[in-house]
Structure 1
Amino acid sequence: MTNWRAVLVGFLVAAGLGFIGLTLPGLGQLAAGLIGGFVAGYLAGGGFVRGFWHGLLAGALGGIVGGLLIALLVAVAGWAAGPAGGLLTGLAGAGIFVVALLVASVMALESAIAGAIGGALNPDSDSDSDSDPDPESTRSTGQRREHY
């Protein structure tokens, strides 16, 4: 089961560090994606595969948000330039889509690799939302609660 809290925290770490990393173009965003993916994988725990999955989701979310921000910027620029600007930015939309897809893929893969390392370093995380914090709490009824 996906730990969305770990994914969100990893995304926020990557986004915050990526914003700060604008002072070092390229390298700053690379480090931000790696650290964000590592945080997502470590918080999710559960080993290599689970960390890979959570790092992948955190990185993909960052890529999607980044692509949407680029598209919004281009749309506003086209709107401000009038009909000719609208035509030009409409044609540029296909190229922007391809670039955003490429950026999202790279961010997702680097975050997934770092998430796998984070998950491997924390194989027994109890941060899952479906874990029972007090397994003895079912003794009073005599019934055992099953998790699906």
Structure 2
Amino acid sequence: MTNWRAVLVGFLVAAVLGVVGLAVPGIGQLAAGLIGGFVAGYLAGGGLARGFWHGLLAGALGGILGGLVIALFVAIAGWAAGPAGGALGGLAGLSILTVAVLVAFVMALESAIAGAIGGLLNPDRPARSTSRDYY
């Protein structure tokens, strides 16, 4: 099960550090993705796979939201050209969103690797509950 709190905290850490990292182009953005993914994986805990998944989601969330905003702007701009422009703008916006989602997941691999390390370093949070009440 996905721990959305861990994903959101990891995303927020990456977003804040990414804004601060604009002062050091390239290195700042890379560090932001790594640290955000690590935080998401550490908070989720439970091992490599669970940390990888949560780091991947935290890293990709920013790209998906950015792509959604760009797609909406393109679709709205198409409405200014009338009905045909609206249809073409909507199609272009959908295409941009699709490409942005794919690119976001590819670029989120650094966050996923850092999340896997974070999940490995936090064994106190099991991936699943080991005890169940059958009564």
TM-score over 0.5 for the alignment? yes
Cα separation, 2, equivalents of 1:37 and 1:21: 16
- 3-state SS in 1 of match to 2:124: coil
Aligned to 2:32: 32
CA contact (8 A) 1:17 1:28 kept: yes
Counterpart residue number, 2:81: 82
The answer on 1:93 being equivalent to 2:93 is yes
Figure out how many residues of one structure are paired with residues of the other and give that number.
Answer: 132
Q: Distance in 1 between matches of 2:32 and 2:77?
A: 28
Displacement after TM superposition at 1:26 (Å): 4.3
Separation of aligned partners in 2, 1:71 and 1:22: 24
Determine which structure has more spread, i.e. the larger CA radius of gyration.
Answer: 1
Residue of structure 2 in register with 1:135 after alignment: none
Matched, 1:146 2:133: yes
State the SS of the aligned residue for 2:11.
helix
Structure 2 stretches of 5 or more lacking a match?
A: none
Q: Give the structure 2 partner of residue 115 of structure 1.
A: 115
Report the TM-score when normalising by structure 1. 0.68
1:85, CA displacement in angstroms?
6.3
CA positional deviation for 1:103: 2.5
Q: Which residue of 2 aligns with 1:10?
A: 10
Contact residue 37 and residue 114 of structure 2 kept, 8 A: yes
Structure 1: how far apart are the matches of 2:75 and 2:108? 25
TM-score normalized by structure 2? Answer: 0.73
Q: Which runs of 5+ in 1 are unaligned?
A: 132-143
Say which is worse superposed, 4-13 or 22-31, in terms of deviation: 22-31
